[in-house]
């Protein structure tokens, strides 16, 4: 039994490390990290995908007699960092779009119209949930899931499973890339904010010109209608923006993996 375990130990270790890297990625990326998705289902998908990737990834060359707890912890930390980096590349895009929905909803007066987001399990404006769902559908339409799987496969080729630690560039790259979340939020919400700003300025001029008119009550439906029309324009423009963001995410993954 001991000889059999020693013979199968490299395959067991490789599968475990692949499972850790893929599991960390699926625990961060949208949809699979949602509150409505059972953790057991995510674990099963991770297990099956790890089995598929196991024959094509480079194996860890280690002697089982020299394997210690500290060495194993370093291997796990190595896989955790890589999975965290790859999952962050996709999660930043959807977090930025969700933030854009919150900014647009605030300008439209939907700040108090919050519902439970089924993906994150927190209160969010209806515009935020709507843009999040639209972006998620566009993610599949633009073959973003294929890009994620390709990144996972390439990560095992570019960063083999060993105990090498990243250089300092790897630590600063996620911080710099995370700032793109605010850039995406501003780009998506800019049309809505710009249109509503003009509407509010117009109502301010009307209030100065006709003081007897109750501009405050008149502004609510018009602001909502203008915001919804602007959201339609935003949705039409989200496909090229999401495509550009996915290309940036792919470049970030390659740049981050090269820093190992």
pLDDT for 67 = 63
Q: Answer whether 0.85 is exceeded by the pTM.
A: no
Closest CA to 140 of 44, 253, 30, 33: 30
Predicted local distance difference test score (pLDDT) of residue 5: 46
CB count in 10 Å sphere of residue 44: 11
Instruction: Give residue 62's pLDDT.
Output: 59
For residue 110 the two structure tokens come to 């939907």
Number of H helices, E strands in the chain: 8, 2
Distance of CA 242 to CAs 93, 99, 197, 236, 247, Å?
A: 8, 15, 25, 11, 9
pLDDT at 115: 58
**Which pLDDT tens digit goes with each residue over 83-102?**
888 888 888 888 888 888 88
Q: Give the CA distances from residue 205 to residues 22, 208, 237, in Å, rounded to whole numbers and listed in that order.
A: 57, 5, 31
Confidence label for 2 from pLDDT (cuts 50, 70 and 90): very low
Look-up of token digits 């000889």: 3
Q: Is the pLDDT of residue 63 over 60?
A: no
Tell me the backbone φ, ψ of residue 76, rounded to 5 degrees. Answer: -65, -40
Element (H or E) spanning 115, and its range? strand 114-116
What does pLDDT average to over the chain? Answer: 79
Give the Cβ contact number of residue 51 at 10 Å: 12
| Sequence-separated contacts (24+) of 250-253 with Cβ below 8 Å | 250/89, 250/147, 250/151, 252/89, 252/173, 252/177, 253/85, 253/86, 253/89, 253/151, 253/154, 253/155
Q: Please classify residue 93 by burial: count the beta carbons closer than 10 Å to its beta carbon, then call 0-12 exposed, 13-18 middle and 19+ buried.
A: buried
Residue 211 CB neighbour total at 10 angstroms: 8
Q: How far apart are CA 89 and CA 251, in angstroms?
A: 9
Total Cβ atoms within 10 A of residue 52 = 12
Instruction: Please tell me the predicted confidence (pLDDT) of residue 119.
Output: 58
Give per-residue pLDDT as tens, 211-223.
777 777 777 788 8
Domain ranges of the chain: 2-258
Look at residue 124 and tell me whether its pLDDT is greater than 60.
yes
**Measured between alpha carbons, how far is 27 from 41 in angstroms, rounded to an integer?**
12
Q: Burial-class residue 222 by CB neighbours within 10 Å (0-12, 13-18, 19+).
A: middle
- At residue 245, φ and ψ (nearest 5 deg) are -65, -35
Backbone angles phi, psi at 118, to 5 degrees: -65, -20
Give residues with Cβ within 8 angstroms of 72, minimum separation 6.
none
- Cα separation of 182 and 178, whole Å? 8
Considering only residues 38 and 228, tell me which one the structure prediction assigns the higher pLDDT.
228
* pLDDT at residue 225 in the model: 86
Q: What is the pLDDT of residue 13?
A: 78
Across the range 59-79, mean pLDDT stands at 71
């Amino acid at each position: 039994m001991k000889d059999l375990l020693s013979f199968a130990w490299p395959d067991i270790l490789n599968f475990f490390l692949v499972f850790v890297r893929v599991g960390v990625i699926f625990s961060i990326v949208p949809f699979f990290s949602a509150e409505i998705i059972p953790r057991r289902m995510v674990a099963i998908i991770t297990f099956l995908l790890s089995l598929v990737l196991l024959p094509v990834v480079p194996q860890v060359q280690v002697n089982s007699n020299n394997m210690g707890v500290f060495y194993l912890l370093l291997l796990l930390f190595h896989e955790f960092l890589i999975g965290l980096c790859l999952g962050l590349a996709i999660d930043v895009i959807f977090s930025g779009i969700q933030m854009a929905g919150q900014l647009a909803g605030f300008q439209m007066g939907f700040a108090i119209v919050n519902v439970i987001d089924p993906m994150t399990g927190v209160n969010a404006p209806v515009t935020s949930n709507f843009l999040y769902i639209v972006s998620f559908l566009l993610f599949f339409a633009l073959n973003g899931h294929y890009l994620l799987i390709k990144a996972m496969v390439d990560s095992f080729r570019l960063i083999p499973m060993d105990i090498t630690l990243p250089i300092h560039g790897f630590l600063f790259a996620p911080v710099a890339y995370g700032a793109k979340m605010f850039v995406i939020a501003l780009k998506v919400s800019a049309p809505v904010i710009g249109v509503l700003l003009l509407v509010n300025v117009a109502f301010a001029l009307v209030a100065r010109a006709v003081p007897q008119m109750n501009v405050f009550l008149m502004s609510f439906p018009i602001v909502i209608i203008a915001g919804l029309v602007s959201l339609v324009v935003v949705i039409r423009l989200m496909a090229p923006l999401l495509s550009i963001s996915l290309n940036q995410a792919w470049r970030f993954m390659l740049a981050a993996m090269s820093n190992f």
